[in-house]
Structure 1
Amino acid sequence: MGDPDNEDPRELIGSLRFEATQEAAGKRLDQWLTQMLGAEFSRSRVQALIRQGAIAVDGKPVDDPGRKLKAFNILDVALPGPEAAQPAGEDIPLDILYEDAELVVINKPAGLVVHPGAGNATGTLVNALIHHCGDSLSGIGGVKRPGIVHRLDKETSGVMVVAKTDRAHRALSEAFADHGRTGDLQRAYVALLWGTPERNAGTVDAPLGRAADRVRRSVVPAGRGDARHAVTHYKVLDRFGTSVATGKPGARNPAALAALVECELETGRTHQIRVHMAHMGHPVVGDPDYGQAFRTKANRLSEPARTVAKNFQRQALHAQLLAFTHPVTGEMMRFEAPLPADMAELVAAFRAS
């Protein structure tokens, strides 16, 4: 099929033949073929196969995904094997919480970038997963690569799920894009904040957009073109400081220097928790982007909390809980990761202050 000089150099792993039904008449080629091929093939992958000349209709190769079908068209599909992974795998230690043929759940350490990019061409989670998973990656979009469906900032630790197959990638991507509104998805983070929120629990409903430097985010008017709906629910777990005692457990004390909170995401925007907490006036301890003005608060701490806080060089934010429906079995999966050692030490120092 196709021009021999332009054929895909990958080895074919099989071929399939379909006959268009009368109900298929008038439908787009990519749409109907995606339905026929099932969950193993995303629509984008089917479109790529069409453009590569891997699909023939009535014996003639086609390259237009939008071509309209006629009843009784014969479709031949040549299935190339997945391309080799890009970038290259790297032997980077991973804390694997769970793994099966469809997905892998990891406890990401602080300092590990999720995906290669400018300034981080190697040494990322993707490099590590390509090495770890090897041939168990079936080909996301036709390439042997892990399917990243959500991300954690470089200096945020905690639970992440990554797809190993196209069907898992599709289902998990839909769940995260929907933010769990029509399915089971729960994400909870623990953060140490400067100061103490007024209420023991609450919600920050404030749209986010790009800040002036285009890397950071900020709360913006809802009508601005780049405004994205963002909702964070928070609950105060503990309050720390030299004058916390009020006689009422959990009661707010304006003198408290810090609070440990749990944040649940209703949406998943870049830097969402960090921006929303700073918007409340209580940025995450150690946050280099949204909490710099609060770093001198460490001087009000007693030792050893003062030294520990000054030496803590990242945001004190940890993805503690991730729960989702398995994309194939339908089973509810729930994973938790304890605070990493550096953040546990920081919280313990604040608690003792």
Structure 2
Amino acid sequence: MLSISPVPSFSLTSVKSLRFSFFPKVSKFITATSQTPNSTPETITRVNNSGLKLNETVEVTKGKLRLDSWISSRVHGVSRARVQSSIRQGLVSVNGQVIDKVSHNVKAGDEVYCMISKLQPLRAEAEDIPLDIVYEDQHVLVVNKPPHMVVHPAPGNPSGTLVNGILHHCSLPCVAAYSDEEEETFSDDEEMSSVRPGIVHRLDKGTSGLLVVAKDEYSHAHLAEQFKLHTIERVYISLTCGVPSPSQGRIDVPIGRDSNNRIRMAAIPGSLSRGRARHAASRYKVIETLAGGGSALVEWRLETGRTHQIRAHAKYMGVPLLGDEVYGGTKSMALSLLQKRVSRSDQEEIINLVSRMDRPCLHAIVLGFEHPCTGETIKFSCPPPPDLAEIVGLLRRSGRQKVE
């Protein structure tokens, strides 16, 4: 039985402002628009914190408290990844004993000594790659990522990534990669050798849209904390194969690695207590039904940030994203739903568009966060790229019904 809870209607102001009524067919990349801060962030000098020392006693706490989490809460402006690196290098001791396990639990009365490790040189090369920059100041960079671009170098994708392009555009903090069960932004089994300078969160290779990058370590730590506390506003739109029912709701189903396919995640009800998956919650709302019910334009708001969360939850609901071959939104499924619902004059075009769609129809359309240095809340939006805009336009011609 599907675990979907109805939710009260929520505001679509930010999305409606993007004029969903019409996505023009275009042949070039659409320039993103943004709502910029009212004031320019003040100049703040940051040091790299190498050699910074902490010597404190843990105060009374409830429940388990990880060593890396506690140190991160006590050292201002240093990323948790760098704290973990310091622990692994033997630069941290508890009650006089060196601890090299980041998940070591501390308790009230423990004496903790830590020296922050040196910044490590980056292992990513700068490349002259065109970037669609939505906003930039001294501390943060907001980019509209095109589909098919990988965010950071990793085994199998050593170059041509967003990070390579950003390194050519500006310098980035040397923030080490890390992975653990409490981190909301990256998956558990990503290799430590991957390079993510300045990257706080990411989008899948096939997903287009907005992504924020930190240009200094203080901003990285501040933004990472916002993601951890779920205060970042993230809105996505997608095209689904079929129409979600009910038309809006909240999916609270854990997500874990698919036991039958290691490159795929799966929504696994009841798996949280057995440790097979991690808590994942998504809110969705159907904006429009298209092509007589063959597809839908759906808005998603994430409460957590699991790997492939929207794609896995959409599959769980029985309405995989159009173009998502990994999660069931295959070309054959899309055509079986759409061909009989579009006019004869549009059938050839829909076959061509669906056949050319080589990525999930998913776009990060809104991103809002607190500026790490000014404290001002800023929000950005960008329309979908041409491939998604074109197929939405065609499906609307074949029947469109707005959902209030």
Q: For the Cα contact (< 8 Å) 2:153–2:196, is it kept in 1? A: no
SS in 2 for 1:309: helix
Task: Kindly indicate whether structure 1 or structure 2 has the higher relative contact order, using CA contacts under 8 Å at least 6 residues apart.
Answer: 2
Partner residue of 1:296 out of 299, 313, 335: 335
Q: Distance in 1 between matches of 2:243 and 2:153?
A: 37
The aligned counterpart of 1:171 is 222
Aligned pair count? Answer: 301
Deviation at 1:294, TM superposition (A): 1.6
The aligned counterpart of 2:251 is 204
- Assess, with a 3 A threshold, how the Cα gap between structure 1 residues 213 and 15 changes in structure 2: closer, same or farther: closer
Deviation at 1:258, TM superposition (A): 0.8
The amino acid of 1:196's aligned partner reads V
- Residue deviations 1:219-275, cap 9 Å, x none? 11323422111111111111112xx4xxxxxxxxxxx11111111111111111111
The aligned counterpart of 1:58 is none
Deviation at 1:99, TM superposition (A): 1.4
Deviation at 1:30, TM superposition (A): 9.7
Deviation at 1:106, TM superposition (A): 0.3
The amino acid of 2:390's aligned partner reads E
TM-score normalised per structure 2 = 0.66
The aligned counterpart of 2:191 is none
- Residue deviations 1:274-323, cap 9 Å, x none? 11112111111111111126233243334133322222121111000011
Unaligned runs of 5+ in 1: 1-11, 53-62, 70-74, 245-255
TM-score normalised per structure 1 = 0.74
Q: For the Cα contact (< 8 Å) 1:30–1:65, is it kept in 2? A: no
Deviation at 1:68, TM superposition (A): 5.2
Which runs of 4 or more aligned residues in structure 1 lie more than 4 Å from their structure 2 counterparts after TM superposition? 12-20, 24-27, 29-36, 46-52, 77-80
Partner residue of 2:277 out of 227, 236, 250: 227
The aligned counterpart of 1:65 is 92
- Residue deviations 1:168-206, cap 9 Å, x none? 1112112212322xxxx2111010111112233212221
The amino acid of 1:278's aligned partner reads K
Q: Distance in 2 between matches of 1:88 and 1:138?
A: 14
SS in 2 for 1:115: coil
2:296 is equivalent to residue 259 of structure 1: yes
The amino acid of 1:228's aligned partner reads R
The amino acid of 2:257's aligned partner reads R
Q: For the Cα contact (< 8 Å) 1:130–1:145, is it kept in 2? A: no
Deviation at 1:145, TM superposition (A): 6.3
SS in 2 for 1:148: coil
- Assess, with a 3 A threshold, how the Cα gap between structure 1 residues 18 and 294 changes in structure 2: closer, same or farther: closer
2:276 is equivalent to residue 270 of structure 1: no
The amino acid of 1:258's aligned partner reads S
2:393 is equivalent to residue 334 of structure 1: no
Partner residue of 2:175 out of 140, 143, 147: 140
2:289 is equivalent to residue 239 of structure 1: yes
- Assess, with a 3 A threshold, how the Cα gap between structure 1 residues 222 and 328 changes in structure 2: closer, same or farther: farther
The aligned counterpart of 2:82 is 45
The aligned counterpart of 1:248 is none
Deviation at 1:115, TM superposition (A): 1.5
SS in 2 for 1:41: coil
SS in 2 for 1:260: strand
Q: How does 1:1-353 map to 2 (within 5 A)?
A: 24=56, 39-42=76-79, 45=82, 64-66=91-93, 82-134=119-171, 137-140=172-175, 146-180=197-231, 185-211=232-258, 212-223=260-271, 224-241=274-291, 244=292, 256-290=293-327, 291-292=329-330, 294-297=333-336, 298-300=338-340, 301-302=342-343, 303=346, 304-353=349-398
Deviation at 1:141, TM superposition (A): 5.3
The aligned counterpart of 2:10 is none
Q: For the Cα contact (< 8 Å) 1:284–1:317, is it kept in 2? A: yes
Q: For the Cα contact (< 8 Å) 1:98–1:106, is it kept in 2? A: yes
SS in 2 for 1:174: helix
Q: For the Cα contact (< 8 Å) 1:233–1:264, is it kept in 2? A: yes
Which has more radius of gyration?
1
Deviation at 1:330, TM superposition (A): 0.9
Q: Distance in 1 between matches of 2:314 and 2:154?
A: 27
- Assess, with a 3 A threshold, how the Cα gap between structure 1 residues 172 and 341 changes in structure 2: closer, same or farther: same
Q: Distance in 2 between matches of 1:19 and 1:204?
A: 42
The amino acid of 2:350's aligned partner reads A
Q: Distance in 1 between matches of 2:275 and 2:313?
A: 19
Q: Distance in 1 between matches of 2:214 and 2:233?
A: 17
Q: Distance in 2 between matches of 1:338 and 1:235?
A: 18
The amino acid of 1:140's aligned partner reads V
